[in-house]
Amino acid sequence: MKSKISAAAPPDTTLESLAAFVHTLRTLHLATGGHQPWLGLDLTMAQFKSVLLLIFTGGMTSRQLADRLGVGPSAVTQLVDRLVDQKLVKREADEADRRVAWIRPTAKAMALQEDLMQTSRSLMADVLDGLAPRDRATVQHALKLLLDRAQAILNAHRP
């Protein structure tokens, strides 16, 4: 099987720079000791991933969630039970098939995700505030290009 990247190919400095930027933001987030809502969560990593998946998809069946997490249906049942107890998800019967239950994020889960995003926005604002107006315009243009491309890829993956 042929590799997409040859051994002689130089590293993509754009990709490396973007990865370094994301890593530095994460490190800065931890170093500043500011508002970190995720530290107060009483969730396992699988539960946290499940909540994020459900938020970003709007909901899934138990089977879909199990497939995405790479676990068995019984493991998802217990995981969802704990998330229901914490009022982060709810089960809803499928209108067309009573045997199917949808797992949907609750308002509490949506608020948690918004809190996490707001923390990131505040940190980004601190980073951007130090840039000259011309540099901010350059960053804004580059981010628009990245967002447009990412949106196109996302749209290609939607049913």
Give the containing element (helix H, strand E) for 88: none
Is the C-alpha dihedral spanning 20, 138, 147, 49 positive or negative? Answer: positive
Domain contains 117: yes
Q: Quick: pLDDT tens for 81-108.
A: 999 999 999 999 988 888 888 999 999 9
Query: Could you tell me whether strands 89-93 and 101-105 are parallel, antiparallel, or unpaired per DSSP bridges?
Result: antiparallel
User: Where in the chain does DSSP place strands (E)?
Assistant: 60-61, 89-93, 101-105
Domain contains 52: yes
Q: Quick: pLDDT tens for 47-69.
A: 999 999 999 999 999 999 999 99
Domain that holds residue 63: 41-124
Q: Quick: pLDDT tens for 33-45.
A: 666 666 677 888 8
Entry pTM: 0.69
Selection from 64, 115, 63 nearest residue 88 by Cα: 115
Residue 1 above 50 pLDDT? no
Q: How many domains does the chain have?
A: 1
CATH code at 86? 1.10.10.10
Joined together, the tokens standing for residue 114 give 């918004």
Domain contains 148: no
- Give residue 5's pLDDT: 45
Residue 2 above 70 pLDDT? no
Query: Average pLDDT, whole number, for the chain?
Result: 85
